[in-house]
């Protein structure tokens, strides 16, 4: 038997919770299913200990619930999880946990999304017939690790950043961090300050900024053309950090806010990593060509021996494994085919929340748009 639901939300991370809250406020009945045994599992179980939100709290609140007055400007992981728990309680959101969606296909005759899921606790199959389907599993479903020739020969520990918690366990070891995004740079800092001999792979141009500069830029961009704002904050950043090209770090040609808007790539918020790179405490290498035992060879001809490798190489979505009949709402990588801001709506009552690569602010916009659209269709039909 299929359970008839008006709106089925897949995923109980920030995007799923925000969509549920917005639908609830519009009096649209919904069900949230989540494969893990808790909400926001990425934040609870796969985020390193020292993580804080990289944007100021005014840009990170979910719809209809600003952060408490006493919250710090840059909210730590633990307080953000507590905020999400309070958010779910406030809006009466009760996800059905350990419910893993295996397929979702549109039934043209019935005008419903037929969703098959597995209750992993009971080991039974569950089926839903939903008028509206909201995919809120996000861009960060599973860790992505690149294929490197010889990786299987590496004798040491090799982990994805989703399994990394603290640098304490690496004290005294030679550690290579692969990836120079926010996670990679912060993990490298954490490992180095815990006494490891630390190196980082920087393959691509990257904007290094301070939290204050990104906050200033994001605020100014609401009133001033973004290209002018980019020029301003890049000049200030260059004054603060100096020329980093001799350390193997170069800036992309587009400014940080334009780059984020067009590609979803974020600037790196420096937590002290740049200072350690300048002092030679953290060494910078180019891309990896191959691994032979504990020896890693790099594109620039250099090589080094390491005891452990941490891959801060991002995540990928798994939506394409179970979502059928999406009419190319999502591309082969499981990301929206349409560009922002029209990415969130597909056909036949299909929506996606949290796939715009615009952080928590993007999630809030998606949730409001989706709820408004569903409410309009629900009330009229």
* CATH of residue 74: 3.50.50.60
- Looking at the structure, tell me whether residues 151 and 282 fall in a common domain: yes
- Looking at the structure, tell me whether residues 173 and 67 fall in a common domain: no
- Looking at the structure, tell me whether residues 255 and 352 fall in a common domain: no
Contact, 104 vs 351, CB < 8 A? no
- How far apart, in Å, do the first and last CA atoms of the chain sit? 24
Lowest mean pLDDT among 157-161, 170-174, 185-189, 341-345: 341-345
Write the pLDDT tens digit of every residue in 184-236: 999 999 999 999 999 999 999 999 999 999 999 999 999 999 999 999 999 99
- Stretch 162-172: mean pLDDT, rounded? 94
- 196 to 105, 192, 237: CA distances (angstroms): 50, 5, 28
pTM, two decimal places: 0.87
What does the pLDDT read at residue 317? 86
- Stretch 173-194: mean pLDDT, rounded? 96
Which of 262, 296, 311 is where one domain is finished?
Answer: 311
Confidence tier at 381 by pLDDT (50, 70, 90): low
Question: In this structure, what token pair is assigned to residue 129?
Answer: 């017939």
- Looking at the structure, tell me whether residues 92 and 115 fall in a common domain: yes
How buried is 262 (Cβ within 10 angstroms: 0-12 exposed, 13-18 middle, 19+ buried)? exposed
Domain count, the chain: 2
Q: How many CA atoms lie within 13 A of 192 on its CB side?
A: 24
SS (H, E, C) the chain: CEEEEEEEEECCCHHHHHHHHHHHHCCCCEEEECCCCCCCHHHHHCCCCCCECCCCHHHCCECCECCCCCCCCCCEHHHHHHHHHHHHHHCCCCCECCEEEEEEEEECCCCEEEEEEEECCCCEEEEEEEEEEEECCCCCCEECCCCCCCHHHCCCEEEEHHHCCCHHHHCCCEEEEECCCHHHHHHHHHHHHCCCEEEEECCCCCCEECHHHHHHHHHHCCCCCHHHHHHHHHHHHHHHHCCCHHHCCCCCCCCHHHHHHHHCCCCEECCCHHHHHHCCCEEEECCEEEEECCEEEECCCCEEECCEEEECCCEECCHHHCECCCCCCECCCCCECCCCCCCCECCCCEEECCCCCCHHHHHHHHHHHHHHHHHHHHHHC
- Looking at the structure, tell me whether residues 73 and 131 fall in a common domain: yes
Question: Which of 98-102, 139-143, 317-321 has the highest mean predicted lDDT (pLDDT)?
Answer: 98-102
Distance CA 230, CA 255 (A): 5
Mean pLDDT, the chain, integer: 94
Domain that holds residue 111: 2-141+317-380
- Looking at the structure, tell me whether residues 104 and 161 fall in a common domain: no
- Looking at the structure, tell me whether residues 364 and 255 fall in a common domain: no
- Looking at the structure, tell me whether residues 175 and 307 fall in a common domain: yes
CB atoms within 10 A of CB 189: 25
Which of 256, 291, 311 is where one domain is finished?
Answer: 311
140-174 as b/e, with b when 16 or more CB fall inside 10 Å?
bbebebeebeebeebeeebebbbebeebeebeebb
Contact, 372 vs 7, CB < 8 A? no
- Looking at the structure, tell me whether residues 121 and 181 fall in a common domain: no
Write the pLDDT tens digit of every residue in 22-61: 999 999 999 999 999 999 999 998 888 889 998 899 999 9
- Looking at the structure, tell me whether residues 216 and 340 fall in a common domain: no
The percentage of residues in the chain with a pLDDT greater than 70, rounded to a whole number, is 100
- Looking at the structure, tell me whether residues 354 and 243 fall in a common domain: no
Distance CA 294, CA 363 (A): 41
- Looking at the structure, tell me whether residues 246 and 97 fall in a common domain: no
Which of 265, 292, 311 is where one domain is finished?
Answer: 311
pLDDT at 141 exceeding the cut of 80: no
């Amino acid at each position: 038997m299929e359970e008839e639901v008006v709106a089925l939300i897949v995923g109980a991370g920030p995007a799923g919770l925000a969509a549920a809250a917005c639908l609830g406020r519009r009096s649209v009945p919904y069900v949230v299913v989540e494969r893990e045994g808790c909400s926001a599992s990425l934040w609870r179980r796969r985020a390193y200990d020292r993580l804080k939100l990289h944007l100021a709290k005014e840009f990170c609140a979910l719809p209809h619930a600003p952060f408490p007055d006493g919250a710090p400007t840059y909210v730590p992981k633990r307080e953000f999880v507590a905020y999400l728990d309070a958010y779910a309680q406030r809006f009466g959101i009760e996800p059905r946990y350990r419910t893993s969606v295996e397929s979702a296909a549109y039934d043209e005759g019935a005008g419903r999304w037929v969703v098959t899921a597995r209750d992993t606790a009971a080991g039974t199959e569950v089926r839903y017939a939903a008028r509206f389907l909201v995919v809120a599993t996000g861009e960060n479903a599973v860790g992505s690790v690149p294929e490197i020739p010889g990786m299987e020969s590496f004798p040491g520990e090799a982990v994805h950043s989703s399994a990394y918690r603290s640098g304490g366990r690496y004290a005294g070891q030679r550690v290579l961090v692969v990836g120079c995004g926010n996670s990679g740079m912060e993990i490298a800092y954490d490992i180095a300050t815990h006494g490891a001999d630390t190196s980082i792979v920087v393959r691509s141009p990257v904007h290094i900024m301070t939290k204050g500069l990104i906050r200033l830029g994001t605020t100014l961009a609401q009133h001033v053309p973004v290209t002018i704002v980019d020029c301003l904050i890049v000049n200030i950043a260059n004054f603060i950090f100096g020329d980093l090209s001799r350390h193997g770090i170069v800036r992309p040609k587009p400014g940080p806010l334009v780059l984020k808007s067009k590609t979803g790539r974020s600037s790196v918020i420096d937590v002290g990593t740049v200072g350690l790179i300048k002092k030679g405490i953290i060494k910078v290498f180019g891309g990896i060509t191959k691994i032979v035992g504990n020896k890693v060879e790099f594109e620039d001809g250099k090589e080094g021996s390491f005891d452990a490798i941490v891959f801060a190489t991002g995540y990928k979505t798994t939506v394409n494994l179970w979502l059928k009949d999406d009419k190319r709402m999502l591309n082969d990588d499981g990301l929206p085919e349409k560009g922002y801001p029209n990415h969130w709506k597909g056909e036949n009552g299909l929506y996606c929340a949290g796939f715009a690569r615009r952080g928590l602010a993007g999630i809030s916009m998606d949730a409001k748009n989706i709820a408004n659209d569903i409410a309009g269709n629900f009330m009229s039909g």
